[in-house]
Amino acid sequence: MNWVWTNFGLIWELTLDHVVLSAPPIIAGLILSLPFGWLANRFRLSRGILLGIAGLLYAIPSLPFLVAVPTLLGTKILNPVNLVVALTVYAVALMVRTTADGFASVEPDVTKSATAIGYSRWWRFWSVELPLAGPVLLAGLRVVSVSTVSLVTIGSIVGVNTLGYFFLNGLQRNFPTEIVVGIVATVLVALVFDAVLVLAGRVLMPWTAVERAPRRGAASIMGSS
């Protein structure tokens, strides 16, 4: 425990770095997946293509991808942007299917009713389809958030400052405590992110019983509302 107190400054600093690197991919993953997910839900052909690409991207192992991204972007290997881009790709790949499921969970009767009372396509998307797909999107985003926070640690291997530093340094110094601190700090960051998402869900979607937030996709979202 002593080690924690004497190194608290470093732990705090790397935790902040970790948070700063984790947040953009999660947010970008949500935003970018909306048009793709909508398109995937709209036509059968685009569904096959988009979900196929997403599946392929998601199958790419993280460290090799992180090594390859600088070549694709033309950046230096130490640039933290590589990590953010790589994790954004994973986030979008993971979210597209969820978003498509979310839009599919909106009852056609509801969207037809919205059209019947005069909603334009655009307005109907923002005020009917998106809110009703919200619980599914939230469930997917929570998964993205947890795996992003954990994957950020890989960045340390290529020299980006993250909580993963404690794993590498602990291994080098043969000091398990440091690794445990890194794991605990990473899990704590993931828990805080999750809490923020759940809270945001309650604020933005007060009509849902967030306690029963469906974690398993599109089934039975509409039943309770």
Stretch that binds another protein, among 4-12, 31-39, 92-100, 114-122 (CB under 8 A): 92-100
**Helices of type H across 60-127:** 62-73, 80-104, 108-116, 121-124
Q: Is 71 in the site for another protein (CB under 8 A)?
A: yes
- The answer to whether residues 39 and 99 touch, using CB atoms and an 8 Å cutoff, is no
Residue 100: other Cβ atoms inside 10 A:
26
Q: Is 4 in the site for another protein (CB under 8 A)?
A: no
What's the min distance (Å) between Cβ of 12 and another protein? 18
Draw the binding track, 26-65, toward another protein (x: CB under 8 A; -: no contact).
------------------x---------xxx-xxxxxxxx
Give dist(CA 169, CA 178) in Å, integer.
Answer: 8
Which CB sits closer to another protein, 33 or 114?
Answer: 33
User: How big, in percent rounded to 5, are the helix, strand and coil portions of the chain?
Assistant: 80, 0, 20
Stretch that binds another protein, among 1-9, 34-42, 95-103, 124-132 (CB under 8 A): 95-103
Give dist(CA 141, CA 109) in Å, integer.
Answer: 26
What is the residue type of 24?
Answer: P
Give dist(CA 67, CA 47) in Å, integer.
Answer: 30
Q: Is 131 in the site for another protein (CB under 8 A)?
A: no
Choosing from 91, 101, 160, 201, the residue that interacts with another protein (CB under 8 A) is 101
- The answer to whether residues 98 and 137 touch, using CB atoms and an 8 Å cutoff, is yes
Binding site for another protein (CB under 8 A): 44, 54-56, 58-65, 67-68, 70-71, 77, 94, 97-98, 101, 140, 143, 146-147, 149-151, 153-154, 156-158, 163-164, 166-168, 170-171, 174-176, 179-180, 182-183, 186-187, 190-191, 215-217
